[in-house]
Amino acid sequence: MGPSHGAASNLAVVPPDPPRLTDVMRERLRLRRASERTAEAYTGWVRRFVRFHRGRHPREMGETEVSKFLSHLATERRVAASTQNQALAALVFLYAEVLETPFGWLSGLVRAKKPHRQPTVMTREEAARVLRVLAGAPRLIALLMYGSGLRLMEACSLRVKDIDFGGRAVIVRHGKGGRDRLTMLADSVANELVPHLAAVQALHRRELAASRGYVMLPDAFVRKSPSAARDWRWQWVFPATRGYRDPATQRWVRHHVHESAVQRAVAAAARAAGMTKRVTCHTFRHSFATHLLEAGYDIRTVQELLGHRDVSTTLIYTHVLNRGGRGVRSPADLLRLEDSDVPSANPHAPQGDMLTGSVSISRGRVVDGRLLKAPWRHELRRRL
């Protein structure tokens, strides 16, 4: 016999577990249309903040604890100013948007002042040396960063439909700040992309035959067009070497190449090329902007190609130009040194002091590279 109604009424109703704080924070960030990388960074800072205070809940803490954590990052961890400001932004979002506590004290927190640093720029010859060492997908990604001004993640996450070979253009989707933009596609890069995409398409066909070939789609596009997950146009230009099983759909999905693989390849290529500069992936983007300005292109055009919101961000590249409105030639480059101005290698020639450069001659005096014999004073007085 089944349980009676009285026994059923005595069963205690177990309330569901409250959602975790980081899950609530991710949900609020999605409502603000923040990227997944931003959500990962913000929740990571909240976890570090809680661990620093030995597991205390953020509701039990306030301005004092936040200030101590930020001071710890600056004085003991010695993080960069941008890293400290990112931690502050995460905690401001936590208290203001997630915990919804009075946050008047948050406005009093001082953000770290970012130092003004000059970007590292390679010459054309140096960029060619590094690119010659690279091979495979890292080489093509570096070519796109140098030839199109793409950021590392923008190049890694390109899809086949974003490459316009006919218009020689690259469409950047959901760039920094969630903005799209259009930039150039160099002819040399397009020529190398054609055989690369042929190999990627052959891989995609093999995966379709094995009932795989899925990729992740942005936002809710998978509900609008479910078949697009296996469409060739939506495939990654630079797919990862291995796929994974999506826990939500149980499908085998292939992600794009991870940015760390490209970073390691560029660092190794810079060492192999004998570079003394610190060359990173972003150095190719710095060099792209600087070389365009050196070629005389308008700074507003370069701003649009880079995707900068404000032209003041693009102005940093005018500080490293070798010529232009702010360019100054060294006085040493304006000298016309004659052969007689260079110290002679003849051991019998009169030798001067290496520090003062003076030459003592018993029978005359050297003036403007000429030996004036006695009476040299009369000759010098006549010439002056």
| Active centre residues (catalytic) | 151, 176, 282, 285, 308, 317
Q: How far apart are CA 81 and CA 112, in angstroms?
A: 5
Degrees (nearest 5) of the Cα angle 281, 283, 289? 125
Determine if residue 42 is left, alpha or beta; phi over 0 gives left, psi from -120 to 50 gives alpha, anything else beta. alpha
CA distances (Å), 168 to each of 80, 151, 165, 174, in order? 38, 18, 5, 20
- Long-range CB contacts (within 8 A, 24+) of 63-72: 63/105, 63/106, 63/108, 63/109, 66/91, 66/106, 66/109, 67/109, 70/109
**Residue pair 235/161 in contact by the 8 Å Cβ criterion:** no
Q: How far apart are CA 273 and CA 127, in angstroms?
A: 10
Number of Cβ within 10 Å of residue 254's Cβ equals 20
Strands (DSSP E) along the chain, which ranges?
163-164, 169-172, 181-184, 239-245, 252-256, 364-367, 370-373
How are strands ordered across the β-sheet holding 169-172? 163-164, 169-172, 181-184
Q: How far apart are CA 49 and CA 30, in angstroms?
A: 22
**308 Cβ neighbours under 8 A, 6+ residues apart:** 314
DSSP structural state of residue 239: E
